[in-house]
Structure 1
């Protein structure tokens, strides 16, 4: 007896809305990361130490951790389109406040305000991206929106650093605020007013392994049993824990990359923006290529991403006086950080129960930023107590532990999970 099924028509790929969301992601990450490139200038202008400027990253990130989940819960009935426009407007307000802040204390308050908006943005944009597209389009969509964050390392931070060196760090913040207003207006006009998730299964069909970036092929009712990740909040929590450890190691070093390059590497100040550009360009390219390289090979993707990060930071740690190796190291490190967020976000959407996607996205945002804040805090303590050289070993230790943990969890999950057909 032949099988019959009625499938919903394929949803057109929403390229323009996704590009606009990528622009918003670009600004969000740029606002968060600007103190890393402007650290010496902000330190002199505000009469604060470099570790205090690094602490702005911790304050920003911990605000995200503390407020993103409750704010998402309180704002859950607000239409996502209106919410995204609102948080971009909040970015503009907070960043203008930073630009005009007369003291370090006022800068702290503006970073708290902007951090709250940042948490809502990332908790919303991840689930919103998943709702805009079908499961087959998910990896490509996440690569586009995630590419906006990667582009912030390519253009946002390096150009912000260069602009700050030319016109002052306050001008940089003011320029970013103006761009936030522009993108908020674009979001209002290009995002659909109503988004509903499209059904992905027919009345009678096998439900494939829910893995946007995965390691297995799809099978039918009589096909072989193959490993795949289940959907559970336990796996979400485990993924978030490893993400937080990774980001803690990464930002214990990256938060202080400017004083490290100017001090340990003895890089001339006029070359700082170029060095940060080397990190950023490989990060953005890696983000855009993640779906092409690792759509069905997430385990390989995680291994490559972590290996690039460790090798790259190792070049800076063990050969800081060899400038070519330093530049290559920054490129490898940037590539690893380009691959990793897309892999993590896609794996999150794969293992999170569908009814808890918003909650999982909010928790993931909190975990990601807990790592950023902890890393900046750890790096600041090491800077004050042991000197700038100590941030590189902290990176290698923490990221190395996260790498081993991710591989163990992935191996156990692949052995334990099997694709079980389900008829609906």
Structure 2
């Protein structure tokens, strides 16, 4: 029996990353086509932009309840159904003749995304029970590639017709998810997972994850403005940031096989230091170094934290993934709003605020790691050390 999706055929291994690539492209594509959408629907840009806001709110509010509901059913079937529903609603939004229909279908599409994203992560983990970290990293790579490649491609297609990229990416979700891998049954006689932690522990990790993301996005939301203040080309620096995100995500699987919380603290501390340096010693060099380092840290962190959450509650993967989705959306929103409150002081003030929020998250995660190590159940292995004790048998594949 194969131990992970790498041995399940190339289509099966690529299915979930591709599905997430297309789904995130659907989510973000309208941001680059607002003028085209507004003109086609005979409205203003602000009203057209409401489609993205409604989508994000729908995803954030419904991720947990829908994930909790979906985990009652067969994981692969639920993922496929959610993916097909996402496709239908994405096509409906693309075909909407007026603003009201467009906004309504974007809200419903966001709800489908709220169910789909957690299920994809949960299925990836279930299909690779001996290598959860690599499975999560592979799926999240689809997310990073969507932001770096899918969204720019969608913006180019939108110049022809704003409906075209939305429809094509929606169909891509259905095509990819149809090859979704099957969960791998647990083999008897091998203790591969740590003891289940309390729900409070998962909530605490999700909250700290959201806080770290808030720190990152307090900086990133206003990165272009800070770059331009240094006389640098924003497109170049943002491209360097995106390349760092993709590279780090691609290599985050092996990093997340052991000592995940400890390494997450290190990653957050490094980003905090470079953001503080950018804010206190502004200049082209520190701005570029901060952008590349922050991109790399952002590439590593989601794999580390989400893998840890999945390992701590292997029997509730969909619900845990839903909590991670809520944390992600909350972190983005809080970071953008908190960064906006300090932009009046200087263009580098959001970086300093982001550094402070990251420090708070690092302290909380260090505390959580210490607490988790004290909760080891006799006869089991700690989630930070389980892979060390079974590496030769579990990761040989």
Distance 2:174 2:286 in 1: 41
Show the counterpart of 2:14. 19
Distance 1:59 1:209 in 2: 38
Q: After superposition, where does 1:182-221 map in structure 2 within 5 Å?
A: 182-188=172-178, 190-192=179-181, 195-202=182-189, 207-208=191-192, 210=194
Show the counterpart of 1:418. 376
Show the counterpart of 2:253. 291
What is the CA distance between 1:72 and its match in structure 2?
3.5
Note if 1:117 corresponds to 2:129.
no
Contact 1:310-1:400 at 8 Å conserved across structures: yes
Show the counterpart of 1:406. 365
2:297 is matched with which residue: 336, 343, 347?
Answer: 336
Distance 2:271 2:354 in 1: 9
Distance 1:316 1:111 in 2: 38
CA shift digits 1:360-389 (9 cap, x unpaired): 222222222222223233344555x66755
Change (3 A) 1:276 1:361: same
Distance 1:320 1:56 in 2: 37
Give RMSD over aligned pairs.
3.7
Show the counterpart of 1:254. 220
1:146 is matched with which residue: 116, 140, 151?
Answer: 140
2:131 is matched with which residue: 134, 137, 152?
Answer: 137
TM-score, structure 2 length as denominator?
0.78
Show the counterpart of 1:225. none
Distance 2:164 2:338 in 1: 29
Change (3 A) 1:399 1:182: same
Q: Which moved more, 1:235-244 or 1:9-18?
A: 9-18
Show the counterpart of 1:235. 201
Change (3 A) 1:278 1:32: farther
Contact 1:18-1:145 at 8 Å conserved across structures: no
CA shift digits 1:372-420 (9 cap, x unpaired): 223233344555x667554323322222211111112112322x13352
Distance 1:321 1:11 in 2: 46
Show the counterpart of 1:359. 319
SS in 1 for 2:165: helix
CA shift digits 1:169-216 (9 cap, x unpaired): x8577425413313422322x225xx45412332xx6x3552xxxxxx
Distance 1:44 1:11 in 2: 45
Distance 1:353 1:328 in 2: 38
What is the CA distance between 1:69 and its match in structure 2?
2.6
Contact 1:65-1:366 at 8 Å conserved across structures: yes
Distance 2:122 2:282 in 1: 41
Change (3 A) 1:330 1:373: same
Change (3 A) 1:266 1:409: same
1:277 is matched with which residue: 236, 239, 263?
Answer: 239
Show the counterpart of 2:391. none
Contact 2:94-2:102 at 8 Å conserved across structures: no
Change (3 A) 1:106 1:325: farther
TM-score, structure 1 length as denominator?
0.73
Contact 1:87-1:121 at 8 Å conserved across structures: no
Distance 2:64 2:304 in 1: 22
Show the counterpart of 1:61. 56
CA shift digits 1:32-70 (9 cap, x unpaired): 45577x499799987668xx96x8766543322211233
Show the counterpart of 1:325. 286
Change (3 A) 1:313 1:420: same
CA shift digits 1:213-257 (9 cap, x unpaired): xxxxxxxxxxxxxxxx75221211111111121222222332343
- Aligned length, in residue pairs: 372
Change (3 A) 1:276 1:29: farther
Distance 1:265 1:255 in 2: 16
Contact 1:139-1:291 at 8 Å conserved across structures: yes
SS in 1 for 2:378: coil
Show the counterpart of 2:394. none
SS in 2 for 1:136: coil
SS in 1 for 2:130: helix
